[in-house]
Amino acid sequence: MMRGALSDITKAVGHTPIVRLNRVTEGLESDIYVKCEYLNPGGSHKDRVGLNMIKDAEAAGLKPGGTIVEATSGNTGAALAMIAAIKGYKCVFVMPDKMSQEKISSLRAFGARVVMCPTAVEPDDPRSYYQVAKRIAEETANCFYANQYHNPSNPNAHYLSTGPEIWEQCGHELDVFCTGMGTGGTISGIGKFLKQKKPDMKMVGVDPVGSLYYDFVKTQRITKAFSYKVEGIGEDFFPSTMNLNIIDEIFRVDDKECFLMTRDLVRLEGLFVGGSGGAAVAGAIKYAKQSGRKENILVLMPDGASKYISKIFNDEWMRENGFLEDEKGLGTVRDLLAGKPAGPVVSVDAKESVRDVIDTLKKHGISQVPVLEGNKLRGMVQEVDLLRLLVKGSGTLDSPILDLIESDYATVTMSTKVELLKSVLSDTKIALVMERDGVVGVVTKIDLIDFLARKATPAAV
């Protein structure tokens, strides 16, 4: 073979550069760097995962001419399709319908069959892309179901490849590693390796508003997930490939923050990255502002911008979804709360009794109340739960409320759009407004109705 040539494109996976951010991080004490995983030949960090999964599948008995099936948001599919093209495997990929047309078309360009499924269904719904992929795999002979959400080859790929590469590039100078949270393979695999080398290195996860991870890490309760636009991060269930114990800090970002930062990274830093990269940088900046320390922070850039030209980089799509400044829409949660009576949020302590909570509900004329342990949110208690306990005789007025705490709520931020809040409250009883881990507001369906009614009423002349 000619000197300097690679035997095939898979040999080009890895060895991606690390670049310092400059303009989007002005004024921060910390230095923030990005690892440009979008420069892998398949366009994302999932190239590493795809290689490792297929290698392990072949060792387990996958035969030539077999079929690879996977539920994917696009990047894992692209990696598997690239490798399959070289090795002669067939591919079937199942995707949620919120994914960009570019991702769908790129998978079909490799000759893969792509099956689309509705996004807004529960993970165990037979129509969900998880369940459809599983069913196709069960019905296909000589099939490898990649199952990235539960395949240990996923985090192991980053433990064997990305982690050592980062350590070789940065060593002890690196203080913080930050990445978006999806299947968990990235932060779990890289985090395991880096913490073995430097135990006090911090792992910072970034989660979109609507995903389950943030609330669970903060409160250990499973709240209601709801839909969001950013692709490739966040989950509405808990993959076994995610090791939440390895995470030291977690920050939350909304769609608008993700997309505006993504556009800034391209236009101000020359980094042609996708929405999950913008999300991770936005989260890293939040961490740096909160920390205030002089640290070296490395952020992983999962994929490139070319897959999102019709969305994030399309001004018309951005305006239609209320992500550009000149699109006011219905406003935000902050606007809604401004129309409610001022005052601190009524809450109860997790150690209080049923009697104490009933007194609080009566005193303030409310039907539900957040439960705190110290300053930490533990969940909600509803009046119907108190009534059920007393009617059934399963407790008394002196019983603790711990067993009554429930998770039938969603959490939003002050900047969450009212349009999104409408969808949230159609799926859950109540929305808690969180800022810096504290509850700063409670929004019910009647609050939203009142806000929309006031907006619809012409101002008095």
Q: Which residue has the tokens 């039907």?
A: 367
Structure tokens at 246: 């390895």
The SS3 assignment for 173 reads helix
In angstroms, the CA 217 to CA 161 distance is 27
To the nearest 10°, the Cα dihedral for 184, 186, 192, 196?
-160
* 285 CB neighbour count, 10 Å cutoff: 24
In angstroms, the CA 371 to CA 379 distance is 5
In angstroms, the CA 425 to CA 296 distance is 40
Which of the residues are catalytic?
A: 46
In angstroms, the CA 403 to CA 260 distance is 42
User: Residues with Cβ < 8 Å from 188, sequence gap 6 or more?
Assistant: 155, 158, 241, 242, 243, 246
Answer whether 302's CB lies under 8 Å from 276's CB. yes
> Edge to edge, what strands does the sheet with 410-412 contain?
410-412, 430-435, 438-444
User: Residues with Cβ < 8 Å from 217, sequence gap 6 or more?
Assistant: 205, 244, 247, 250
The number of CA neighbours under 13 Å toward the Cβ of 235 is: 22
Stated length of the chain: 461
Amino acid at 5: A
Q: What does the radius of gyration of the chain's CA atoms come to, in whole angstroms?
A: 24
Answer whether 29's CB lies under 8 Å from 288's CB. yes
